Each structure stands twice: as C-alpha cells, then as structure tokens.
Amino acid sequence: MKKPILVTGGAGYIGSQNCKELAKKGFHPITFDNLSTGNKSFIKWGPFFEGDLKDGDRLNWVLKKTKPTAVMHFAANALVPESMQNPKKYYENNVIGTLNLLNAMLENNIRYLIFSSSCATYGHPKFSPMCENHPQDPISPYGKSKYMIEQILKDYKKAYNLKYVTLRYFNAAGADLDTEIGEHRDQESHLIPLAIDTALGINSNLNVYGSDYDTKDGTAIRDYIHVQDLALAHTRSLNYLFDQNHSLELNLGSEEGFSVLEIINAIERITNTKISLKFLPRREGDPEMLFATSKKAKKHLNWDAKFSDLKTILTSAIKWHKKKKVL
C-alpha cells in the first residue's frame, strides 16, 4: 500500500511540486490547504481537503480520516516585506497554525514531520557561505516565525518523541521541467517571476531594492535552488526519517550566489529584451547576502542539486510564465 503523506500547503508553489514528486516515488500525497495563496488547479496528484491550519478541529478530523504516516508542512505566509507591515498575520498563521498542526499530529500519534524553514532564520550573514551552525538571528517577523517553530520542534522532540527534518531553503526558483506547475501568486514579490513578467511585457518596470550593498555590483546576493531539487530533497528526507528515526536541520541551497543585476541580465539575454529598472532604497528585512553550504544535506540525504544551474532555473521559469500568460 502507498504510504499516505499529508502535505499542508500542497496547492502552493513548492508544495505542489512535492506532491508530484511524492506520487512519482510511490507515496500518496494528501493536500491540506486554505487556498489563500495556492491554486486549486495545482492539486493533481492526490486528494484535497480544504482547511485552515488555524482550525484545529478540522486538522484533527482530516488526520483521523486520512491517517498519514508523515506530514510535510509547507503551509505558511512567506513574504518578508509583508511580514514587516503585518507581523500579527505571520505569528498567527505560521506559529499558531504550526502549533495546531503539531498538537493534532500528537493526538493522532503521527510522529514524522518535514518542516519548510528558511535561510531567513539566519539574519545578516556573519560569514558566507552559511552552514547550519551559522548563528540564527532573524531580522524579519517572517524569519522569526520560522525560527520560533524550529525551537518548538526541538522541545516537542524531547518531550513527545517527535522526529523531524527541518529544511532551511534558500531562494526557491524555477518551474517544473514538464511545465505542469510553477510559481503563480496574486501578490508576487519574488525577483525572478517579477523580472520575467517585465520581460514578457506584463509589467512595465521592475523595482530593484538597494543598489548600495557591499557586493560586487551593489545589489543583494541570493542563492537560487530549483524547486525540483527541493522536492527531491524532501522525499529523501522522508526516507531518512523512516530509516534512521532521527531528527536533522539542513540547508538546501545551490551553493552559488547571484546578484539581483546578474539575474536580471541573464533574463534579458535569454528573452532578448531590455528590462526597464527602477532603483529604490533597500527594503527593511533584506540582508545583503545569503548563500549556503549544503554539505550536510549532501552527506545525510545523498542529495545534490541537479537542476539549480542558472540556465535551467531561468529557462524553466520563462517557459512556465509564457504558458501561464496564455492560460
């Protein structure tokens, strides 16, 4: 029998790619999502239960009915600038929502969790590349909400024997290589989708926040990891939990840093267009440089980023955005 896995946020960008990968690897993905930022049309690989993490009774009911072997927890609000304006939304949805999920898991005797954390838990870089032992000093309510959940998981591990793999993603990017699913939000704030939409003429110009950082061209540096590489790391993490019954915290990044202008120039080259830029001051909550070492994930999961070269990331994303434009 296929192992049922509950996927919170399975209608979202990263969650839906994980449902596809889970199905491919012989698991039975069950999506739990409130569709606040997700897309119903992305739920193609298993059943869907509409519900909100803030509704503990609904969570309990779904867990009792579906009896998952493990939970992959993607559901969250995930926009740094929005979290600076509206921290209440982030602490309620991310922290309280996750507490409800953990408590429903305990009640139903489900002990395995894969948790989507973030490089935003590190804050300003003290050294680069960042390893898992880099001090965690988050500078946005979003990063703090993820950091708080990481602390809660450690306590739940000790007290209730919960086993988890916490995956600290750097910047998720790219689209499904079959162009079935990809990044699609009503309120987009990520660089690559915004730059592509500008190149495709959907937006008239692109805002660049901060051109006075202490980096090679003054713009912020990020590490982009292909969403299919993330999905592969999740199924490996699941098998790690089943085989080793042991908890871990891991970075997932490509180990390469690209500046905002390097990304824009690469999209201009591939699409043969000129992107009109508007330079604005730095945004609060944005560190100047975030890039990872993923050595620990490579070692424990026998995982490597296979699709995270800039060309594959950008060409897959551009293909998806062109398809989305005519949908």
Ligand X SMILES: NC(=O)c1ccc[n+]([C@@H]2O[C@H](COP(=O)([O-])OP(=O)(O)OC[C@H]3O[C@@H](n4cnc5c(N)ncnc54)[C@H](O)[C@@H]3O)[C@@H](O)[C@H]2O)c1
Residue by residue, DSSP assigns 104-149 as: HHHHTT--EEEEEEEGGGT-S-SSSSB-TTS-----SHHHHHHHHH
46 is written with which tokens?
A: 């298993």
Strand positions, DSSP E, 175-314? 206-209, 221-222, 224-226, 248-252, 258-259, 277-280, 289-290
- Contact by Cβ (8 Å): 12, 105: no
Contact between 169 and ligand X by CB under 6 A: the answer reads yes
Contact between 13 and ligand X by CB under 6 A: the answer reads yes
Any idea what DSSP says for residue 284? T
119: number of Cβ within 10 Å: 26
Is 13 catalytic? The answer is no
- Segment interacting with ligand X, rule: CB under 6 A, options 126-134, 165-173, 278-286, 307-315: 165-173
Binding mask 220-259 for ligand X (x = CB under 6 A): ----------------------------------------
Total number of residues that touch ligand X (CB under 6 A): 27
- Contact by Cβ (8 Å): 58, 97: no
As measured in angstroms, the least distance from the Cβ of 265 to ligand X is 21
Active site residue: 90, 91, 122, 142, which one? 142
As measured in angstroms, the least distance from the Cβ of 154 to ligand X is 18
Binding mask 84-123 for ligand X (x = CB under 6 A): ---------x---x------------------x-x-----
Q: Which one of 7, 14, 80, 149 is in contact with ligand X (CB under 6 A)? A: 14
For ligand X, the closer CB: 13 or 209: 13
Q: How far is CA 236 from CA 19, 28, 156, 326, in A?
A: 14, 15, 22, 35
For ligand X, the closer CB: 201 or 291: 291
For CA atoms 285, 290, 293, 298, give the dihedral sign: positive
At 165, which amino acid appears?
Answer: V
Q: Which one of 27, 48, 49, 74 is in contact with ligand X (CB under 6 A)? A: 74
Contact between 36 and ligand X by CB under 6 A: the answer reads yes
- Contact by Cβ (8 Å): 316, 177: yes
For ligand X, the closer CB: 57 or 212: 57
As measured in angstroms, the least distance from the Cβ of 183 to ligand X is 7
Positions annotated as catalytic residues are 142
Residues within the interface to ligand X (CB under 6 A) = 8-9, 11-15, 33-38, 52-54, 74-76, 78, 93, 97, 116, 118, 169, 171-172
